[in-house]
Structure 1
Amino acid sequence: MTLTADPSLNHLLAALPLAELGRWLPQLEWVEMPLGQVLYESGRTLGHVYFPTSAIVSLLYVMENGASAEIAVVGNEGLVGISLFMGGNSTPSRAVVQSAGAGYRLKAALMKDEFDRAGPVMHLLLRYTQALITQMAQTAVCNRHHSLDQQLCRWLLLSLDRLKSNELAMTQELIANMLGVRREGVTEAAFKLQAAGLIRYARGRITVLDRPGLEMRTCECYAVVKREYDRLLPDKLAV
Structure 2
Amino acid sequence: MAFSNRLLAGLPPAELHYLAPRLDPIALRPRQVLNWRAEPIEHLTFVEEGLVSVLAQTGEREEVEAWLIGREGVVGLSTLLGGESFSFRRVVQVGGSGLRIRACDLRRAFEERPVLRRHLLRYAHAVLVQAAQNGACAARHALEHRLARWLLQARDGLGRDELPLTHALLSRLVGVRRASVTVALGRLEAAGILAQRWGSIVIAAPDRLEAVACDCHRIIRSRYEAVARQAEAVGADIMDRAGAAPLSGTVPFPPGGGETPPAMPVRRPYPCRAQARAAGRADFRRHVMAATGLEVFDKTLQTTNIWLDEIMEEIGPDRRVAWHALGAVLMTLRDRLPIELATHLGAQLPLLVRGRYYDQWHVAAQPERIRSLDEFLERISERMDGTGRPVNTRDATRAVLRTLSRHVDPGQVAKVIEALPLHIRQIWPAGPANDAASGAPGSTAA
TM-score, length-scaled by structure 2: 0.51
- Are 1:236 and 2:257 matched, yes or no? no
Structure 1 SS opposite 2:76: coil
**RCO higher in 1 or 2 (8 Å CA, sep ≥ 6)?**
1
The one-letter code of the counterpart of 1:185 is S
**Partner of residue 48, structure 2:** 53
**Partner of residue 109, structure 1:** 104
The one-letter code of the counterpart of 2:232 is K
Name the structure with the higher helix share. Answer: 2
Q: How does 1:1-239 map to 2 (within 5 A)?
A: 6-234=1-229, 236-238=232-234
Name the structure with the higher strand share. Answer: 1
Give how far 1:17 is off.
Answer: 2.1
Query: For the residues of structure 2 that align with 1:104 and 1:78, how far apart are their CA atoms?
Result: 11
Query: For the residues of structure 1 that align with 2:49 and 2:102, how far apart are their CA atoms?
Result: 20
Contact 1:7/1:104, CA 8 A, preserved across alignment: no
Query: For the residues of structure 2 that align with 1:181 and 1:85, how far apart are their CA atoms?
Result: 33
Structure 1 SS opposite 2:73: coil
Is the alpha carbon distance of 1:67 and 1:198 closer, same or farther for their aligned partners in structure 2, counting shifts above 3 Å? Answer: same
Q: After superposition, what is the alpha-carbon deviation per residue over 1:130-167, rounded to whole angstroms, capped at 9, x for unaligned?
A: 00110001100111111111111000000111223210
Query: For the residues of structure 1 that align with 2:233 and 2:183, how far apart are their CA atoms?
Result: 41
Structure 2 SS opposite 1:55: strand
Q: Which runs of 5+ in 1 are unaligned?
A: 1-5
The one-letter code of the counterpart of 2:45 is Y
Give how far 1:220 is off.
Answer: 0.4
Give how far 1:84 is off.
Answer: 1.1
Q: After superposition, what is the alpha-carbon deviation per residue over 1:46-85, rounded to whole angstroms, capped at 9, x for unaligned?
A: 1101100111111110234111111111111111111111
Query: For the residues of structure 2 that align with 1:54 and 1:147, how far apart are their CA atoms?
Result: 30
Give how far 1:236 is off.
Answer: 2.5
Larger radius of gyration: 2
TM-score, length-scaled by structure 1: 0.94
Aligned residues: 234
Give how far 1:233 is off.
Answer: 2.6
Aligned structure 1 segments of 4 or more residues deviating by more than 4 angstroms: none
Give how far 1:202 is off.
Answer: 2.4
Give how far 1:237 is off.
Answer: 4.9
The one-letter code of the counterpart of 2:175 is G
RMSD after superposition:
1.3
Structure 2 SS opposite 1:8: coil
Query: For the residues of structure 2 that align with 1:190 and 1:181, how far apart are their CA atoms?
Result: 13
Query: For the residues of structure 1 that align with 2:20 and 2:74, how far apart are their CA atoms?
Result: 16
Give how far 1:229 is off.
Answer: 1.1
Contact 1:127/1:233, CA 8 A, preserved across alignment: no
Query: For the residues of structure 2 that align with 1:60 and 1:21, how far apart are their CA atoms?
Result: 30
Q: After superposition, what is the alpha-carbon deviation per residue over 1:198-238, rounded to whole angstroms, capped at 9, x for unaligned?
A: 10112121011110110001110000101111123327251
Structure 1 SS opposite 2:3: helix
Query: For the residues of structure 2 that align with 1:15 and 1:146, how far apart are their CA atoms?
Result: 33
Q: Which runs of 5+ in 2 are unaligned?
A: 236-446
Name which of structure 1's ranges 33-42 and 229-238 shifts more when overlaid on structure 2: 229-238
Query: For the residues of structure 2 that align with 1:169 and 1:144, how far apart are their CA atoms?
Result: 27
Query: For the residues of structure 2 that align with 1:144 and 1:118, how far apart are their CA atoms?
Result: 39
